[in-house]
Every structure is written in structure tokens, then in C-alpha cells.
Amino acid sequence: MKIIVNHITFQNGSPQIDSYIDNIFQLLVKRFPEHHFCFLVLKNHHSLPSFNAPNVSVITINEINSINLWRNIKLPLLLRKLKADVVVQANGICCFNTGIPQVLLISDCLWLNKPTFIPTKERLYYRLFMAKSMKKAKCIIAISQNVKDDLSRAYPIATEKIKIVYPAANTDFQPIFLEKKREIKDGFAEGREYFLFTEGNNPIKNVVAVLKAFSLFKKWQKSNMKLLITGLITPQKNDVLDKLSSYKYKDDVVILSSLNEQQKSDIIAAAYCCILPSHYEGFATTVLSCLQSGIPVIASDIEGMKEAGGDACIYTLPDDVEDIANQMKLLYRDEQHRNVLIPKGFEQATKFSWENSTVLFWETLRKASL
């Protein structure tokens, strides 16, 4: 069987989709050497598949001026040339001019739940073509029950096609020894304990609420705690991070936008607590990464967070700044409360594994190819 993975997506992909594709297919490539896996990627994609196996090929597309031209004219011709048996569409939109079975991978339903947080062109594209894609697809993989429920409500015709295949935390995210924690704190937080926000300046991830809550916490506690902000920082109009020079506690906020993968996992494992007050999540894989690392999480009281975090997280409304600050204070004052949450987190993280998800993913591919 020849499986094509169309990894050419809006906004040149996303870290969550990149990680999902990478983890699932690393295992599939090893388990099924008799099948061939071909990845279609853009030349400047920030995370090319890191596969090195004889049954893997990567085709690099130099440039796409029109997503419609690519998807419905050039892509069908390429699929025919490659003699594809099944196609995985990594951004959840079908190619309409091919009879080759297609599996849609859908990680969130932003266009349904929070459309103002995505570009107008992308929003319109989903509005015009998603219903048609739901009908065209042979199978649909949703990364959570939350995503499946949203799709089923909006597109009832697709309900029977949808299979849930969860992500998991990468194995890089693990607890670290006390000496390593001290080293990380010395290197990034002047030797102090720190709260952590891992989602950069993406507006839907709600760094504004974190900064406001941190202000209240500092006002109430007079502590020397730091706030570290990691993740992708992109230029944007009225970015709150551009205004930090006037932030009262600016000297206690550290922005780290250029970290390698090891640093990212170490900074999570050394944190006192991670704060994730997102307005929306399809499924919060970052929550699992934190829990697996032995770090408590204050998360939004939304389905995409609760499905990942179970009873191992502290939940608040995303814009209830005072409640977020109160939970930060509670963790700071009550070490025992923090110590109760950590083992719950380890247990919750074990409920999700790439091995189990790979089995389900492969079953879906096989079903689609029949």
C-alpha cells in the first residue's frame, strides 16, 4: 500500500499537527516496512518529517500561490502519478477531483467555535469547503471527543465516519532531578521559582490573562517568583508583549522565544506550575506534557482542556483573572496541595500513548483503503 500524507496546510502547519504526524508515522514506518509512506511538504516548512527509512519518501513543493489550484488540480495529478492507495489530509480539507480514498485529520474546530481567531481567508475556506469535505472523506480522524462532538453537531452526515485517535505527550517530557532543576532556574530565572506559560503570543492562548493574574499574585504575595513565557512569538498588531516596558513587574517576566527541544522540555520540568488559560483547544496536548513532567497545571475550564487533564488539573474560566491569581496563590502557599496534584498528573498522562493511537490510526487507514 502506498500512503500519501499531504502535510501542506494553512499557515504552514502547526506544532501540534507536526508532532502528531511525526509521532504516529515514526511508529507506522517501522511497523510496516512493506508499505510505502510519502510526505508532501512545503520547501520552507519549519518541521520537515525526520524519517530515515527505505520505505519513506519526501516530496518538496517549492511554492503554492493558490491553495485551490494546488488542492484540486496539481494535487490530483501528483496523486495519480504516485499511484496512491490512500491520502491523509493533514489540514482537514479534501481534494475534490480525485477518487483516491482520503482520510481527514482534524485537530480543532476553530472555524466553528472561535472564527474571529483565524484569518478571514482561512475562515471563508472552511465555510465553503468543509461540509463538502465531510461528505467526500472516506474516514475522518478527530484528535479528541471534543472535536468529534463539534464536527457531529455541525456536519451530522459525517458522524459515522469519525474515529477518535488521541495525541499523547512526547517521551522527552519527563521529571528531572533537583540538580537539573537548579541548573534550569539559574540559567533562565535567576535561580528563582517560576510560573510558566508555553504558548507564545497567540491571542487564543490568552497570555493577557496570565500577565494580569501574575500582577495580582505579585501584589498579594510580594514573592520573588518569576513568569517565563515560551512558545512561538509572531509579529502582530497591538501585541501585549510589545507593551511589557510599562508592565509593573516587567523585571520578573522572561520571554524565551528561541529554545531547542531539550530546553523546552527542561523548562517545563523545572517549573513550579504551568498556566494555560486558553480560550479554545481541540485537545490540550501541552497539558499532558506538563503532567507527565510532574508539573501542576492551572487550565481553562473548557472541554479541550478537561479531556486532557481529567481530575489532575486546577480549572478556571479563561478570563477570570482573579480566580487564576487565587489558584496561583493557593499552590504557592500550600505545598501539600501541589504534592497531591503531581501524582494525579502522572496517572492521567499514562491514559494516552502514541503506541495505542498508532494502532487506531492504522486501522483507520486500512479501512479507508478498502
Cβ neighbourhood burial of 216 (10 Å; 0-12, 13-18, 19+): middle
pLDDT in tens, 306-347: 999 999 999 999 999 999 999 999 999 998 999 999 999 999
The Cα–Cα gap between 184 and 252 comes to 16
Q: Which residue has the cell 503531581?
A: 342
Instruction: Please count the other Cβ atoms lying within 10 Å of the Cβ belonging to residue 116.
Output: 9
Q: Which residue has the cell 515560551?
A: 230
Rounded to the nearest integer, the mean pLDDT of the chain is: 92
223 Cβ contact list (under 8 Å, min separation 6): 217, 332
pLDDT tier at 63 (50, 70, 90 boundaries)?
confident
Tell me the mean pLDDT in the region 85-113.
Answer: 93
Residue 12 has pLDDT above 80, yes or no: no
178-349: CATH number? 3.40.50.2000
pLDDT tier at 121 (50, 70, 90 boundaries)?
confident
Query: What's domain 2-168+353-369's superfamily in CATH?
Result: Glycogen Phosphorylase B; (3.40.50.2000)
Q: At CA 282, angle to CA 279 and CA 284, rounded to 5?
A: 80
Full-model pTM: 0.94
Q: At CA 358, angle to CA 36 and CA 344, rounded to 5?
A: 155
Percent of the chain past pLDDT 70, that is, above it, reads 97
- Interhelix angle 335-349/321-333, nearest 10 degrees: 100
195 Cβ contact list (under 8 Å, min separation 6): 210, 214, 217, 225, 226, 227, 228, 271, 272, 273, 274, 275, 328
Residue 48 has pLDDT above 60, yes or no: no
Residue 92 has pLDDT above 90, yes or no: no
Tell me the mean pLDDT in the region 288-303.
Answer: 98
What is the structure's pLDDT at 91?
77
Give the residue extent of every domain in the chain: 2-168+353-369, 178-349
Would the CATH topology of 2-168+353-369 be identical to that of 178-349? Answer: yes
What is the structure's pLDDT at 62?
82
- The residue among 231, 241, 178 whose CA lies nearest residue 208 is 241
Percent of the chain past pLDDT 90, that is, above it, reads 78
Listed range (65-74, 228-237, 294-303) with the worst mean pLDDT: 65-74
